[in-house]
Amino acid sequence: MKMTSAYLGEIEVDESKIIKFPSGIPGFSESKQFVLLELPDNPIFHILQSADDANLAFIITDPYYLYQDYSFELEASILEFLNIKDRNDIAIYTIVTVNKPFEKSTINMKAPIVIHMKENIAKQVVLQKEDYSSRAPISQPLHEKEEN
């Protein structure tokens, strides 16, 4: 199917790749279908593009690339909601707030997006107990990596 992406313009998307967010994303509950798109020439960041609204797209990243010790427990109700039986079936992403200069950008580790990749169903989970920031810096871990 053809659709328009906020970042990539008109694109062709395989309908089987549409990820359903039954509850929407907090603050954007009207959009319930998204596609995960590659950001050209950038393996670290991706685009989570709404299939319902061409103007709604998020830059996301795998938080483990920046914070290897990131960890949290999903509540039983979320495991059931997403039909998660095996950790290997899911992907975890965090939304990036892009700032200028880019080194000032942040990621929301307080509300990761959990995607069941085999069933194409997802939910943004707001962590209650973990002490993570909704504005974790993206630049600090990169500098620490370079020093090691």
Question: At residue 37, what are phi and psi to the nearest 5 degrees?
Answer: -120, 145
Burial class of residue 63 (count of CB atoms within 10 Å of its CB; 0-12, 13-18, 19+): buried
pLDDT above 60 (res 142): no
Average pLDDT for the chain: 92
Mean pLDDT check: name the lowest of 14-18, 55-59, 93-97, 139-143: 139-143
* pLDDT confidence of residue 140: 62
Residue 125 scores a pLDDT above 80: yes
Decide: 10 and 17 in contact? Cβ < 8 Å.
Answer: no
pLDDT digits (tens, 9 = 90+) for 99-121: 999 899 999 999 999 999 999 99
| Percent with pLDDT over 70 in the chain | 94
pLDDT tens-digit profile of 54-64?
999 999 999 99
Q: What is the largest CA-CA distance in the chain?
A: 45
| Domains defined along the chain, listed by start | 2-147 (2.30.290.10)
Contact between residue 99 and residue 105 where contact means Cβ atoms under 8 Å apart: yes
